[in-house]
């Protein structure tokens, strides 16, 4: 295993806890597919909303492209960076299964 996503569902919420892909796999569409499948599983489990946090120098742009919205920021170290809290409403069209190519 070289990367992946872990999360949990509780009380109608899907929490993305950890999501990592090595640099050589980023930009290939694999991250988008993994996230879409996780969102679909969460919706199947009855979740209506997803939440996560990332850091300003990590991936807020990636999540924004996938339909996530910024809730707010909390400053952290190193100075000038923040934890970015994000959310996404899950719908029936979220997370269509992806067929291997």
**What is the rounded distance in angstroms from the CA atom of residue 28 to the CA atom of residue 8?**
25
Give the alpha-carbon dihedral of 32, 72, 54, 39, to 10 degrees: -30
pLDDT in tens, 33-89: 999 999 999 999 999 999 999 999 999 999 999 999 999 999 999 999 999 999 999
* Lateral strand order in the sheet of 4-10: 4-10, 13-20, 49-55, 81-89, 69-76
pTM of the model: 0.85
Q: How confident is the model at residue 98 (pLDDT cuts 50, 70, 90)?
A: very low
pLDDT in tens, 5-40: 999 999 999 999 999 999 999 999 999 999 999 999
Q: How confident is the model at residue 91 (pLDDT cuts 50, 70, 90)?
A: confident
Strand partners, 55: 83
Give me the pLDDT at residue 93, please: 67
């Amino acid at each position: 295993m070289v990367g992946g996503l872990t999360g949990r569902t509780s009380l109608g919420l899907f929490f993305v806890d950890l999501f990592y892909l090595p640099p050589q796999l980023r930009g290939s569409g694999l991250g988008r597919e993994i996230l879409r499948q996780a969102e679909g599983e969460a919706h199947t489990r009855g979740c209506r909303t997803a939440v996560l946090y990332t850091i300003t120098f990590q991936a807020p742009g990636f999540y924004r492209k996938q339909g996530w919205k910024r809730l707010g920021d909390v400053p952290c170290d190193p100075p000038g960076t923040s934890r970015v809290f994000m959310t996404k409403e899950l719908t029936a069209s979220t997370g269509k299964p992806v067929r291997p190519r």
